Amino acid sequence: MLNYYYCYVAALEDVNHELLLRNVLFNESTYSSQVIPRRNVTETVQISMKWTFIRLEGLTWTDDYLVWDPSQYGGKSYITATGKQVWTPDVRIYNKLESNFLSDGLQAEKVLVKYDGTVMTQPSGDLSTICNANIELFPADCQKCSIVLGTTTVNQRQKLVWDQNEPISGYEENKDDHAFWKILKVEKVPMFPSTFVFYIFMQRLPAHYIYNIVFPACALSILAILAFFIPIDAGERIGFGITIFLSFMVLMLQVSSVLPENSKSISAIGKYFLQLMCSSLVAVLSSVVLSYNDRKPENEKCKCRLNSVHPIIEDSTGKDDHVIAFNDNHIATNADKNRILLQPRNIMTWWKIMGYKKLMNYLRPVKIFDLVTLLSCLIASIHAHIELYIIMTDTTCSSGT
């Protein structure tokens, strides 16, 4: 029973010491959280910063009014308080975006007060900042983003201090942890008095976009070229081309959903899709033109068609003759006016006629139009792939990105 009573008295004694200490330190008649914590009103409060790679580790300053002798208060060397109870520097993130980080300065944070007047706090919350991204080389782009930290200009008696030779700890351990970015380096630059800028240089990892966007687009571009070899009279060429064009549209929407809205520049993958979509559209239009030409009335087409070639033995000399039958009555020379008789010695002439007809068939304006369209789409597709390949294999990043 005596032991329990001793423990209770000891605990009560500690609580009384802390209450007494708080009453002395935070007495409204001798202390105000709105007053600069300097007994000499001309002095400036220096706020020391410590950063790690993933967060603001802490802010430290000295309060001349929060000093006590631990031996007079049961050995109490520190106490905790809220940001509203003590004076706190008005530290802000100037370029933050919809973030609760330092939204009210340090008023909502917990602080640790030591007996020598040292006050320490570690801001909490998620930090989102504005970064003017340059998406011209997306998905192999490099970005330079900044975090601007400083005190307000209303009170010039606050000064942020940071040892320029002190490295940002945790960088080597965390620089490769992100799934979509590779952190190249982090720089800290003093911008104005009591204002620091932290530059983060990042390079996007393109593997995700290569496997999920570029490879499907490459396969679709090959199919778009193969569509030219589908016979126009089969009736499937136009539908096949439209399907490929719509597939490009779906992939383009997927790319647009991950890109920030920016009208200053077009991304590399955007130019890539634009060229492929134009090629696909040209292929569809070419199919429409050929389909329209193939469905012209029969009387508008050439009627001079080769019907048959077969040997005959009809003359008294016993020599084999060959007959080429045409639909054109104007060029027939025999009795039924539908046959041309060729002697064997003229067989080479017949082959020349056949070759000439095939050549003229390929030299028709419609055939030439189809061939030129095919070559144009093929060249545009190859150019788009080569251009994107060069951009994505360039792993160098400029510090001025």
Percentage of the chain beyond pLDDT 70 is 71
- List phi, psi (to 5°) of 7: -65, -40
46-62 pLDDT, tens digit per residue, is 888 877 766 777 889 99
User: Cis omega (within 30 of 0) on the bond before 139?
Assistant: yes
Give the pLDDT band of residue 332 (cuts 50, 70, 90).
very low
Pair of tokens at residue 319: 């020599």
Residues 206 and 392: their CA atoms lie apart, in Å, by 8
Q: Is the pLDDT of residue 365 over 80?
A: no
Amino acid at residue number 124: S
Give the pLDDT band of residue 81 (cuts 50, 70, 90).
very high
Give the pLDDT band of residue 319 (cuts 50, 70, 90).
very low
Can you give the length of the chain in residues? 401
CATH superfamily name and code, 17-204? Neurotransmitter-gated ion-channel ligand-binding domain (2.70.170.10)
Domain ranges of the chain: 17-204, 224-297+378-393, 302-362
pLDDT of residue 336: 46
Mean pLDDT of the chain: 77
Q: Is the pLDDT of residue 344 over 50?
A: no
368-383 pLDDT, tens digit per residue, is 888 889 999 999 999 9
Q: Is the pLDDT of residue 337 over 80?
A: no
Task: Using alpha carbons, select from 146, 227, 203, 224 the residue that is nearest to residue 385.
Answer: 224
CB contact set of 142 (below 8 Å; sequence gap of 6+): 184, 201, 202, 203, 204, 397, 398, 401
pLDDT of residue 260: 78
Specify the residue for token string 């992100």.
178
Count of CB atoms situated within 10 Å of the CB of 273: 23
Specify the residue for token string 């009279």.
233
Whether 25 contacts 141, CB under 8 Å: no
Q: Is the pLDDT of residue 386 over 60?
A: yes
Q: Is the pLDDT of residue 190 over 60?
A: yes
pLDDT of residue 357: 53
Q: Is the pLDDT of residue 338 over 50?
A: no
224-273 pLDDT, tens digit per residue, is 999 988 887 777 888 999 999 999 999 999 888 888 777 778 889 999 99
Whether 147 contacts 97, CB under 8 Å: no
Strand partners, 99: none
What's the per-residue H, E or C state across the chain? CHHHHHHHHHHHHHHHHHHHHHHHHCCCCCCCCCCCCCCCCCCCEEEEEEEECCCEEEEEEECCCCCCCHHHHCCCCEEEEECCCCCCCCEEECCECCCCCCCCCCCCCEEEEECCCEEEECCCCCCCECCCCCCCCCCCCEEEEEEEEEECCCCCCEEEECCCCCCCECHHHHCCCCCCEEEEEEEEEEEECCEEEEEEEEEECCHHHHHHHHHHHHHHHHHHHHHHHCCHHHCCHHHHHHHHHHHHHHHHHHHHHHCCCCCCCCCHHHHHHHHHHHHHHHHHHHHHHHHHHHCCCHHHCCCCCEEEEEEECCCCCCCCEEEEEECCCCCCCCCCCCEEEECHHHHHHHHHHHHHHHHHHHCCHHHHHHHHHHHHHHHHHHHHHHHHHHHHHCCCCCCCC
Pair of tokens at residue 304: 């001079």
260-307 pLDDT, tens digit per residue, is 777 778 889 999 999 999 999 999 998 888 887 766 554 444 444 444
Lowest-pLDDT choice from 103-117, 246-260, 314-328? 314-328
Percentage of the chain beyond pLDDT 90 is 23
- Find which of 46-60, 179-193, 213-227, 351-365 is predicted with most confidence, using mean pLDDT: 213-227
Q: Is the pLDDT of residue 70 over 60?
A: yes
Task: Using alpha carbons, select from 198, 192, 158, 383 the residue that is nearest to residue 274.
Answer: 383
- B/e letters for 86-119, b = 16+ CB within 10 Å, e = fewer, are bbbbbbbbebbeeeebbeebbebbebebbbeebb
114-167 pLDDT, tens digit per residue, is 999 999 998 877 778 888 888 888 888 999 998 888 887 566 677 777 766 666
Whether 47 contacts 59, CB under 8 Å: yes
Whether 266 contacts 136, CB under 8 Å: yes
Whether 287 contacts 232, CB under 8 Å: yes
pLDDT of residue 394: 80
Pair of tokens at residue 196: 């620091």
